[in-house]
Structure 1
């Protein structure tokens, strides 16, 4: 492999003031918002929405009295469970990315089921051995 992917740095300090690499995976969703359309999105995890390209993006949040106009390069933080509506002005097309940390769903339930299976299997093995 001749090319290596970029390494993203997390700005928290470690010993000696060096920057540490991000250890958790992130999920990035890229999409375009066409003119004369409105896109709605329910935020699954705390996220950052960033505008790319040439067009300004109009954003409305559920239960918020304010609307936001985001210029290309600007970003806004969104909270888990929020619903947002996105649109663009004029005949432009906006490129948008939503970045969030990878969330492992039902992790505790999976652990509980795995422990339950181990115990049931151990009991079955003990009975067969008699």
Structure 2
């Protein structure tokens, strides 16, 4: 392993207000963009897109006047909620990876239901006598 795993900033701050960097689980999606096709993608979490292989990748963002030509090995940061379009310049496919931190959705709501269920069912359960 030549590179250390990437670290993301944890959303909570320490008591002195500094943000801490810890290793979080990551989700990596690999796919290929074939010639003469355009792939569209809506980004669900802040991500990093990396180009692999030998083909240049064309990327455009919704509401951006600029297009990006990414060489193999280059990366670009993408923000949650963005819509992007990808295509290739050559007759070869471009291999792409999108890496984002694992986001557990509805965690607060799930924890609330778990606590309520334990409170309700815990009070209805017969108690053991010692």
TM normalised by structure 1 equals 0.80
Equivalent residue, structure 2, for 1:8: 5
Question: 1:108 and 1:11, CA in 2 relative to 1: closer, same or farther beyond 3 A?
Answer: closer
Off by >6 Å, runs of 4+ in structure 1: none
TM normalised by structure 2 equals 0.80
User: How many aligned positions are there?
Assistant: 115
- In the TM superposition, 1:1-130 aligns within 5 A as 8=5, 10=7, 23-125=23-125
The offset of 1:123, in angstroms, is 2.6
Greater helix proportion: 1
The offset of 1:42, in angstroms, is 0.8
Question: 1:11 and 1:72, CA in 2 relative to 1: closer, same or farther beyond 3 A?
Answer: same
CA distance in 1, matches of 2:88, 2:57: 5
CA distance in 1, matches of 2:118, 2:55: 55
Unpaired runs of 5+ residues, structure 1, are 13-20
Unpaired runs of 5+ residues, structure 2, are 10-20
